[in-house]
Amino acid sequence: MSFNVTVIKDKILSDNYFVLRNITYDLTRKNGEVIRHKREVYDRGNGATILLYNPEKKSVVMIRQFRVATWVNGNKDGRLIETCAGLLDDDEPEACVRKEAIEETGYQVGEVRKLFELYMSPGGVTEIVHFFIARYDDSSRASTGGGVEDEDIEVLELPFTTALAMVKSGEIRDGKSVILLQYLQASGLMD
């Protein structure tokens, strides 16, 4: 059964880098009762992320970059270790991860495998993230990576066991990255 939603107000609060909206709506519950909600919704577009892995070397490629939101929320230097990712803009998810992989990590990926797509913060953010994995090897390194003009990205090739330990210690605490690392561990692809 779907809920009956009646929009009362939908006001754009900011249309700067992304869109922030204030929405008031009535939600009719299953029992017929109507409740009013006032929420702010942040629309930043949809994204895609990819974890590069090498089962022979037992390694993964990740990146480290400054993330202002983490800095505002107590991450002292604002840098975060994560899987490479980007907004779709007008690209399909697979095209996006291929582009981001070469720009951010310097690796040209071959076959990619889409795992799933998830809402990462559905209480207030519209974004759906598409999750991928792909094998890499030394011959697929096409450049040094590091991102595009307004990015300062450090490329990290980590032993897989080290990356998992970094999740446990809190050194890696980006949600999409933890999900992909745990998927890779559970998949048996690194055995």
* % residues pLDDT > 70 (the chain): 99
**Residue 65 phi, psi dihedral angles, 5° rounding:** -150, 165
What's the 3-state SS for the chain? CCCEEEEEEEEEEEECCCEEEEEEEEEECCCCCEEEEEEEEEECCCEEEEEEEECCCCEEEEEEEECHHHHHCCCCCCEEEECEEEECCCCCHHHHHHHHHHHHHCECCCCEEEEEEEECCCCCECCEEEEEEEECCHHHECCCCCCCCCCCCEEEEEEHHHHHHHHHHCCCCCHHHHHHHHHHHHHCCCC
- Could you read off the pLDDT of 155-175 as tens digits, one per residue? 999 999 999 999 999 999 999
pLDDT of 3 > 80? The answer is: no
| Residue whose token pair is 């007008």 | 90
Tokens matching residue 26: 């009535």
Query: What mean pLDDT is reported for the chain?
Result: 94
pLDDT in the model for residue 1: 54
Assign 17 a pLDDT band (cuts: 50, 70, 90).
confident
- Could you read off the pLDDT of 170-189 as tens digits, one per residue? 999 999 999 999 999 999 99
CA–CA separation, 170 and 173 (whole Å): 6
pLDDT of 125 > 70? The answer is: yes
pLDDT in the model for residue 153: 92
- Could you read off the pLDDT of 54-110 as tens digits, one per residue? 999 999 999 999 999 999 999 999 999 999 999 999 999 999 999 999 999 999 999
pLDDT in the model for residue 5: 93
Query: Residues for the chain: how many in total?
Result: 191
